[in-house]
Structure 1
Amino acid sequence: MENGSLYDHLFGSAKKNLSWPIRQKIALGTARGLAYLHYGAQPSIIHRDIKASNILLDHKFEAKVADFGLAKFNPEGMTHMSTRVAGTMGYVAPEYALYGQLTERSDVFSFGVVLLELLSGKKALQTDHDGQPSALTDFAWALVRNGSALDVIEDGIPEPGPPEVLEKYVLVAVLCSHPQLYARPTMDQVVKMLETDESVPSLMERPIPFIAGRIDIEKSALSNSGQLCSPTGYQAYTLQGRRISSSKEETEEGSSVSEAVTTD
């Protein structure tokens, strides 16, 4: 591919400040590619490793979804698959990292993270001044919740788009990377929102402590290659903090939540 990968342009040694029209083209191309895998291919395909380095760009900056080494066929009629966790730290959906529950919306979560990277120029996982990891999804969510969605956008983007379009793309990215499975749209819905005037649904509240715990879980299953891949099954993993309870229960402070996580 003449223009390498999206990662090369966002974070590589030859980093380029992509214009908004090019970023928009990459976002749409990636969304269409994933929508085809989920709804055009038969049987449908779940990629499992959507990230910036797996989005390749041709000479016109048309995006191509690449590297199907971790992909899974999803037979028709199955609501989800239970499988070992595989993927790249920072891009793995919470329900997949915690329980090995894989659906097309696991790819939607990863797409949301990539879209946030494309919009912000920031990596999926960063380290703060104290050396603690922080997730781009949390950063973006905090800004959106405070009514500052445009602050997610990287400064100095050439040929910036209309503010309302930029804000819409941020909202779509935050919606796709929601920690709760059924709060995310399908990739068909994502394409429609990005291509048309269809509005973005209201964002559901999200459990921030749950996301913080997911980073710890991903770290515990991380191999030297940066891939989450574990053949040995599940073991108990305990999170200290608030329990996110159902609508019929009250939130309990300081409770110990036992979750399942695949480890090496």
Structure 2
Amino acid sequence: MGFFSMICCVKDLERKKQGEHNSKVRIFTLKELELATNNFNNGNKLGGGEFSSVYWGQLSNGSQIAVRRWEAGRNRSNTTDREFALEIEIMARAHHENLLSLRGFCAQGQERLIVYDYMINHSLESHLFPGRQQQSATCHLDWTRRMSIAIGAAEAIALFYSISYLHNHATAHIIHRDIKANNVLLDVNFKARVADFRSAKFLPDGATHVVTGLKGSVGYVAPEYAMQGKASKCCDVYSFGILLLELVSGKRTADCMIEIWAVRLACERKFDEIADRGLNGNYVEEEMKRVVLVGVACASIEPEKRPTMIEVVEMLKGDKAKLLVLENLICSLWFQNRFDFEKQSFDSS
């Protein structure tokens, strides 16, 4: 679907939804967003990447927003328009309390802007791995909040897998391709909001994977995707497993082979050594064990051994039968393939 066709579809969607479910999706004018962000002042800048920046803003009614602004003019590529249109389509269709909400967008002249709800507690990453000036931030992530974040994010990912999209005249589903701690935002109550669908890819119905260029972040990319370019739902499950292990341990995957470290300790029943020291022992042992086992299973090097996101949700919520099978399988695989795991860990060091 072409860019302008996509925008027309979104406009139609907006019109249909007005008065229906009290939809908040709307089309903003450039002037509104310039006023809200103080003309995209650097002081309002929340972050950004190579091709876009995110700004804090406040609308005339007092509500706070986050605005992603893509590069305008000659520097903007066709990729920008594709990312912009794809993210609008995905977010306009996907509604869940643990998905970041789309407030609206602006496609005026050369400007491409998407407006989201502003998340006052920023990203999960900012609390798990605070900078030197934020050393007290981890105290906000007590165990109750971490467990809520794990289950909420899992439910959101499972939901957007269930949504069908029309792509190239055929039904397809989406894969995120960049699930990581920085793309899980936290609202005022520390409720998780999965965000950033710029790297999302359509997966045709019936297809197990698509071969595509590499997207994602160091430490979160599944082995089969990194080596063979095969992107699938299993790749997202792998990334989510790494995220769970970071959430429970407070360790960065980029700093260690977190899945190898965690599976060894889990099979030795040393779950207390995995727990983030910032928790000071204040966690529910059974729940912590549950998160570790699910995280290790999701981060299996064998895609076919990974659970589905629906199974992940069930196990995080305490499905004892599935967890028992999972624990036995993980330890069996560890002892069968211990040499290969340890060699992989040694080679990466």
Bucket of the pairwise TM-score, normalised by the shorter protein: 0.7 to 0.9
More helix by share: 2
- RMSD between aligned alpha carbons? 2.0
- Compute the displacement of 1:215 (Å): 5.1
1:191 matched to 2:347: no
Corresponding residue for residue 152 of structure 1 = 274
Cα 1:214–1:185 shift into 2, 3 Å: farther
Q: Which has the higher contact order (CA 8 A, sep 6+)?
A: 1
Q: 2-11 or 31-40, which moves further after superposition?
A: 31-40
Superposed displacement of residue 156, structure 1: 4.3
* Shift, 1:210, TM fit: 6.9
2:237 corresponds to: 108
Q: TM-score, normalised by structure 2?
A: 0.56
Structure number with larger C-alpha Rg: 2
After superposition, residues 66-105 of structure 1 pair within 5 angstroms as 66-105=195-234
Residue 160 of structure 2: which of 18, 22, 37 is its match? 37
Task: Establish whether residue 9 from structure 1 lines up as the match of residue 131 from structure 2.
Answer: no
Pair 142,25 (structure 1): closer, same or farther in 2 beyond 3 Å: same
Query: Alignment partner for residue 27 of structure 1, among 125, 150, 162?
Result: 150
The match for 1:47 is: 176
% same residue: 39
Query: How many correspondences in the alignment?
Result: 209
Q: Is the 8 Å Cα contact of residues 174 and 202 (structure 2) preserved in structure 1?
A: yes
Q: Distance in 2 between matches of 1:208 and 1:159?
A: 29
Once the 2 structures are TM-superposed, how far is the Cα of residue 122 of structure 1 from its aligned partner?
A: 0.6
The alignment's TM-score, normalised by the length of structure 1, stands at 0.74
Partner residue in 1 for 2:95: none
**1:120 partnered with 2:249:** yes
Q: Which moved more, 1:145-154 or 1:185-194?
A: 145-154
Q: CA deviation at 1:212?
A: 4.0
Is the Cα contact below 8 Å between 1:98 and 1:214 reproduced in 2?
no
Aligned residues of 2:143 and 2:284 also touching (Cα < 8 A): no
* Aligned 8 A contact 1:149 1:171 in 2: no
Q: Does the aligned pair in 1 maintain the 2:237–2:309 contact within 8 Å? A: yes
CA distance in 2, matches of 1:51, 1:154: 18
| Alpha-carbon distance, 1:145 to partner | 2.3
**Is the Cα–Cα contact under 8 Å of residues 161 and 175 in structure 2 kept in the other structure?**
yes
Given candidates 288, 297, 301, the residue that maps to 1:179 is 301
Q: Does 1:56 align with 2:185?
A: yes
Moved more, 90-99 or 207-216: 207-216
Give the corresponding residue for 1:208: 341
Measure the CA separation in 1 of the matches of 2:232 and 2:270: 31
Check whether the contact 1:143–1:151 (CA below 8 A) recurs between aligned residues: yes
Contact 1:19 1:159 in 2 (8 A): no
CA distance in 1, matches of 2:348, 2:209: 23
Q: Secondary structure at the match of 1:86?
A: coil
Partner SS for 2:138: coil
Report the secondary structure of 1:88's partner residue.
Answer: coil
